[in-house]
Amino acid sequence: MTIKAGDRIPDTTFIKAGDAGPEPVAAADFFKGRRVALFAVPGAFTPTCSARHLPGFVERAEELKAKGIDEIACTSVNDAFVLGAWRRANDAEAVTMLADGNGEFARAAGLEMDGSAYGMGTRSQRYAMIVDDGVVEQIHVDQPGEFSVSSADHLLERL
């Protein structure tokens, strides 16, 4: 079943792509006591993710924070090294990269997708959510092949 507003974030472990290297981070700890804008992409360095999704959150980071967001985070079924390189390649220091390399978070949240037709295997759907102290406040999941409701612009309109 897909996670929805009012649900608690699944208790999985991300690998944070930090400057000091990969760091395990329990989801419960990461989201505790703050309001986080979390967005997910099917894959780092893929066309829509790199050209539109990530840049939107980088460009609108200050506006999101002005509306009560404490942190902006991105997750993908990629490893921490790939997400760290993607962050650096896009000057995306405003975004915390949370690797879900094995797809555990995507699966537990009911937000996985089959990208096998594109040689990508199981990945995360494209979405954005607001998480307040570990509880989903709002979630916006794009239809397959689309990019609209998971954008920073759409999220800002809903805050």
Contact 9, 136 (CB under 8 A): yes
The length of the chain, given as a count of residues: 159
Question: Which of 85, 88, 60 has the alpha carbon at shortest distance from 72?
Answer: 60
49 is catalytic: yes
Which residue type sits at 98?
Answer: L
How many C-beta atoms surround the C-beta of residue 44 within 10 A? 24
Catalytic residue chosen out of the listed positions 15, 36, 38, 49: 49
Q: What is the CA radius of gyration of the chain?
A: 14
Q: Which residues are catalytic, by number? A: 49
